[in-house]
Chain A
């Protein structure tokens, strides 16, 4: 396995708890000190050309993890601890000027809502050119040519005309393509795609996924795909990491996880996909609700909703139990099974 593009170890990102947030909104001088670790000790790594999917219900911290990588956590969030190695450089140690050089050049990001992710009062061309010229000195004409070429590469028809149109003149799919073009403008080593297809209708979704696959294959670019849609993950991901309540529950290759998931949460998650469900049986669903940040049980955070929870789960935080050299799960039950096997 060649040098990983991204290596995140024990990342912890905290936000003030809801209670202190309410007091802050009201202008309280000293909001309650409580901060909850929305991302609590997440570790993951991606090799060049590899697609890692980060899966989990909404609110499990997958987006915050992604934003933390580029240090884009919105206020009042804060990265407390952990190491983020991006192409061998520790992102958290970088001064702001160098961090800016990393964003867009070493790692780039596209978002879920293409409708609102583009500046409405600037043409799409200008916005892509800005992405280019932020990192490379280049004449306007050269930048424009580069941008048109990028538009063609991401499949935007008559790219030169589109250069001068405004975001509100393009469809959702075209806008997402512009976002991707913008992300690819400096051939970054890592592309973070936060729910890239969720806001698009199905036919466009397929085209965007095909584009992402082509990007991985042609440029050997590592992709961190964030999604709650297991169908999309199944199509694109090489490896999958399942997150629950700020922690990685299980991690492994696509085949391992989809064929024989071991962590109870992953199992129930897969079971609730309609397409895999056998007709006649009631749809499987997970009882209870994801606990709010800061109100997590001491031990394994899934314990309150886990059908295989037993004595240690409530008090002891599960450690990673290796199932194969690429497959791990953080669950006492799985650890027990492995001991016996």
Chain B
């Protein structure tokens, strides 16, 4: 008997002691924002990390020369660490120069790397730190993903070559301090440091989009001391795990697989010099029309020095269902809306009454991204080698895919069905345009198939339905369902497409050798310019030419490629629009892609979080947002009262069943 009462006691104690809040009591009073990350960041090194997830963390830690205005749309660059947004100075020989002037007096965070052994010290931010970061991007050992973009700087590739050469010829060279290595290799000719606060960048060719890159963490200032000190030896972390802050927040805690905490950086120029009222350090005074009544320009925040939060607490939460439920319980301040709970949150386009009653807000914004199904143009059956027959086949398969139905089934009707590669909000997008091959029409598709020589989907060579393979990496069960939707669609016009799911290595191998027919891919904009989408179909970018290049369809149409070269450097205007429309009609006819959707992000925010505007690009939102801890604590307590009666019912049932048996047993016993 005593053993069963022991068990019941243990259960009751466990329930009483535990509440379901994942955070300590001490957090209740602090202005901390809780964010769920679906994956753990692979690296926090600004020169290497390229995923939106990593940027969500480091954009708040690394400040950059330029920034995007928080509220204005379309996106507008404002000075950050730089005093002003420079214009391109044309030099002789097609070269262009950009001059940045730093504000004196800005400092890095206090850290032992500045004075090893002597305890935390700090240093002023200088133009040389920006030059050092650009040299790091060039350094082959760092393996930065954006080398191709910055090789437009004069002397960039030559520097990388000299560096590699010196390391190979003289082994002791590699032991030298990192800044000496870069200095001995002669630095980058097109990166000129004048004095402590002036930096000049000289480009080999026109590239107006360069300024956008100076609003991304790639070009944030990195002190050479940090690279030298944090090398992973003698118990010290790697640099990619220990960022040195120049921004409003610094890293306070890094458990890569579970939790990352940023706290207010006292050495930030906005904290040291509020009097400057620098645009990057004060809450914007104006915004997009409608921002005011959306509560984004409240008098108590406009013009006030940033940041408002004390701490940002990132939690790795891989199961999106669990993180959404925790958001509903009040343990995350904001959350995307998962497919499964969309109908509870959103009704006919607006916030559902249940959610509104809880004081939540809904923010809708279209993110500059495109998701599509692509054909490999090198493939004899579906590619350009198949001539007109292949093109009619692609057109037929494009007509079979109903993007609206796909989004209704899988995304609760969210996201904008795509007509062309260019998403809304980016120059070159025409809301009125509808792509004739993206309006589902099974009859016309079957007719096109007949014209292509596949009567009723039968392949004349094999007298069986045309067999194509759809190459997916190692998809999880949910994405397999999406692929099955497309396969079913093609089956309705008689084509038998097989999902070839193999382990990761085999998939990469096939992509490299071009041995694939149909694939699916997505692209999120680096910066708001049509070039950043059309370059995905530019011939020279073909995957088969150099592995890893973004043009996975190996689409190489001479007219399209010529137009691309013209369009890429033109300023926005009717002339650029006309050329983009011509490129679009080529794509319409050739069908290298079946455009699916542009992401429409729905985000839910609790009542206690303020000044939140969805941005999409990697913009440091941390410093603009504020939180009301008291309201949060009250609402959490109200929504999370544990329901305890099942515990008593369970215990009663257990006792009710066992005790009579025990009593009768002992009574019967001799």
Contact = CB atoms under 8 A, between A and B. Distances in A.
A96 interface: yes
B670 interface: yes
Contacts of B669: 96
Interface in A22-51: none
A135 interface: no
A73 interface: yes
A78 interface: yes
A79 B668 CA distance: 11
A144 interface: no
Interface in A55-99: 71, 73, 78-79, 92, 96
Most chain A beta carbons < 10 A, residue from B666, B669, B670:
B670
B491 to A, nearest CB: 53
A78 B669 CA distance: 8
Contacts of A79: 670
A73 B669 CA distance: 10
A11 to B, nearest CB: 13
Contacts of A78: 668, 670
Interface in B369-407: none
A53 to B, nearest CB: 26
Nearest to B668: A78
A86 to B, nearest CB: 14
Nearest to B670: A71
Contacts of B670: 71, 73, 78-79, 92
Interface string B644-670: 000000000000000000000010111
Nearest to A70: B670
Nearest to B669: A96
Nearest to A68: B670
Q: How large is the interface on B (under 10, 10 to 19, 20 to 34, 35 or more residues)?
A: under 10
Contacts of B666: 96
Interface string B242-286: 000000000000000000000000000000000000000000000
A71 B668 CA distance: 13
A79 B666 CA distance: 15
B670 to A, nearest CB: 4
B276 to A, nearest CB: 83
Contacts of A73: 670
Contacts of A96: 666, 669
Interface string A266-308: 0000000000000000000000000000000000000000000
Interface in A72-130: 73, 78-79, 92, 96
A92 B668 CA distance: 13
Nearest to B666: A96
Contacts of A92: 670
A72 to B, nearest CB: 8
A71 B670 CA distance: 6
A299 to B, nearest CB: 30
Interface in B68-87: none
Interface in B522-564: none
B665 to A, nearest CB: 10
Contacts of A71: 670
A8 B252 CA distance: 85
A97 to B, nearest CB: 12
A71 B666 CA distance: 14
A79 B670 CA distance: 7
A92 B670 CA distance: 8
A212 to B, nearest CB: 28
A157 B162 CA distance: 96
B110 to A, nearest CB: 66
B1 to A, nearest CB: 14
A71 B669 CA distance: 10
Contacts of B668: 78
B147 to A, nearest CB: 73
B573 to A, nearest CB: 88
A176 to B, nearest CB: 27
A73 B668 CA distance: 13
Nearest to A72: B670
A340 to B, nearest CB: 45
A78 B668 CA distance: 9
A186 to B, nearest CB: 22
A180 B155 CA distance: 104
A270 to B, nearest CB: 36
A73 B670 CA distance: 8
A92 B669 CA distance: 11
A335 B670 CA distance: 37
Nearest to A73: B670
A66 to B, nearest CB: 14
B87 to A, nearest CB: 91
Nearest to A92: B670
A78 B666 CA distance: 13
Nearest to A13: B670
A281 to B, nearest CB: 48
B662 to A, nearest CB: 14
A198 B669 CA distance: 31
A71 to B, nearest CB: 4
A96 B666 CA distance: 10
Nearest to A71: B670
A78 to B, nearest CB: 7
Interface in B616-670: 666, 668-670
B266 to A, nearest CB: 69
A286 to B, nearest CB: 34
A6 B669 CA distance: 23
A161 to B, nearest CB: 39
A55 to B, nearest CB: 26
Interface in B199-214: none
Interface in B391-448: none
B235 to A, nearest CB: 51
Interface in A298-325: none
A232 B669 CA distance: 35
Nearest to A77: B670
Nearest to A79: B670
A67 to B, nearest CB: 10
A335 to B, nearest CB: 35
A89 to B, nearest CB: 15
A75 to B, nearest CB: 9
B666 to A, nearest CB: 8
Interface string B553-592: 0000000000000000000000000000000000000000
B664 to A, nearest CB: 14
The 4 A-B residue pairs whose C-beta atoms are closest, nearest first, are A71-B670, A79-B670, A73-B670, A96-B669
Given A78-B668, A96-B669, 6 more contacts: A71-B670, A73-B670, A78-B670, A79-B670, A92-B670, A96-B666
8 contacts: A71-B670, A73-B670, A78-B668, A78-B670, A79-B670, A92-B670, A96-B666, A96-B669
